[in-house]
Chains A and B, each alone.
Chain A
């Protein structure tokens, strides 16, 4: 029983099966259109207008420093102007040394992470070795390529540790980009996060300093961006694997910050 098996219904079926190795049978049902003969892409001009918005909007970030890789994200899923869920997991572990942060459409990210986990596990069982992070990113990028131009919207950052090459941070998105780097921030809150990260990031940070920098970046982004908020999730990946920090409510952080500011202001007034 494959992942996307479905009872047949009337209408066009966009059947996509990749070749010999990893046969991912992906059956996507598409609305029947008038000129079905010329039908090629799912994103035809006669697609049905959706009557509901999907979840979007986020702040996620990842960076490499001397102590490994840090991945952090907020936990808000918004659909239009409504907070669809205040406690979403945007950072998902794929295996013991790889986590992926997701941004874009919630359902797309969730399902594509599931497909990726399945493919990585199958590779490990077939070839008796774990696929490298670069290989994982390439596989994901090639799996997403047929959906370029459609509404699928995923922007994932793979944060992991390779046995051979050490810490890795690779950004993959549904537009086809696949970039390796030392610091990435994705989502509607990313400009604010980049500001904080660029200001404070150094290779020689200690683990606690790096964690507090990541927390601060997400906190500032959630403060300014309407579509990010609620809590911050933090993962730390080292050669021993990933470890997750307890989820933190940013409401407390906001009140602590206000306390600190008012204390500073009082101090300034006293001195004058």
Chain B
């Protein structure tokens, strides 16, 4: 039973892997690993007055697909959505903890948590598990107090910062350079830097996920897009490759 699979993400680069020894040395004992990798990609883009959080809906483990309809975007407040990918068990527990903390804050302070506050709180929740981390790559998308789009990206132990766009999960290494080029206008000479409109951003997100589904085995089935504006959260589902 494969409990850890090599995939094109940060893990693949540092680990010498099974290629170190070609010959079979004897019986290999596998210790129980409390972690599993369930795949999935999350993406968030911040615009002038909107934010988009998108994720695929495939839940896989090893060579199997557990579900084709398991979106990774979770609504936290009317202006904030979080995308969590990695180990599904930790994603579920973490979102439950965040929901409970949001309720506690609402009851003690009589106001809803802002996106920035949720991000700071999540950082401390994740760091509280520094020695047995939540295996979750989080990206928060929402509107800040001024109504501008905000994206906060996290690493599994709580380091975070505010970005304009970020991809996380199994296809993140493929999507991030594309977003750097198309939204950040990086590595392009002599190009006019126009601000991103909502329609163009949604179309870009759809195109980018279609490309990710082509090349990453853990991404596919369907795409769930959550568009956050001051009117509320609008959800769309677009089909992707099912193979």
Contact = CB atoms under 8 A, between A and B. Distances in A.
B232 interface: no
A54 B179 CA distance: 22
Interface in B101-139: 101, 108, 123-133, 135
A111 B11 contact: no
A1 B101 CA distance: 11
Contact of B155 (A3, A14, A106): A106
Interface stretch (A26-34, A164-172, A186-194): A26-34
A109 B159 CA distance: 8
B158 interface: yes
A79 B11 CA distance: 8
B interface bracket (residues with beta carbon within 8 Å of A)? 35 or more
A107 B155 contact: yes
Nearest to A11: B132
Interface stretch (A43-51, A131-139, A202-210, A233-241): A43-51
Interface stretch (A65-73, A84-92, A261-269): A84-92
A42 interface: yes
A152 B11 contact: no
Contacts of A125: none
Contacts of B123: 110-111
B132 A107 contact: no
A3 B155 CA distance: 19
Interface stretch (B19-27, B32-40, B69-77, B221-229): B32-40
Nearest to B187: A251
Interface in A89-117: 89, 105-111
A28 B155 contact: no
B63 interface: no
B128 A53 contact: no
Contacts of A79: 10, 155
A30 B34 CA distance: 13
Given A7-B97, A55-B155, A47 B131 contact: yes
B168 to A, nearest CB: 10
B161 A85 contact: yes
B127 A107 contact: yes
Contacts of B108: 1
A55 B163 CA distance: 17
Nearest to B125: A6
B233 interface: no
A82 B10 contact: yes
Interface string A9-47: 001001000000000000111110000000000110001
A106 B159 contact: yes
Given A82-B173, A107-B155, A111-B158, A28 B130 contact: yes
B157 A51 contact: no
A259 to B, nearest CB: 16
Interface in B147-169: 153, 155-161, 163
Nearest to B104: A1
Contacts of B214: none
Interface in B10-68: 10-15, 31, 33-35, 37
Nearest to A31: B132
B218 to A, nearest CB: 14
Contacts of B157: 54, 105, 107-108
Contacts of A110: 123, 158-160
A84 B139 CA distance: 13
B204 interface: no
B4 interface: yes
Contact of A53 (B14, B124, B153, B161): B14
A1 B33 CA distance: 34
B238 interface: no
B11 A53 contact: yes
B158 A107 contact: yes
B34 A31 contact: yes
B35 A29 contact: no
B100 interface: yes
Contact of B127 (A49, A55, A111): A111
Contacts of B13: 53, 80-82
A37 to B, nearest CB: 19
Given A29-B131, A81-B14, A3 B34 contact: no
Among all A-B residue pairs, the 7 with the closest Cβ atoms: A81-B13, A80-B14, A107-B159, A107-B157, A80-B13, A106-B159, A79-B10
15 contacts: A6-B128, A48-B34, A51-B11, A51-B135, A80-B11, A82-B13, A84-B155, A85-B153, A88-B161, A105-B157, A105-B159, A108-B157, A109-B159, A111-B159, A151-B131
Interface of B: 4, 9-15, 31, 33-35, 37, 97, 100-101, 108, 123-133, 135, 153, 155-161, 163, 173
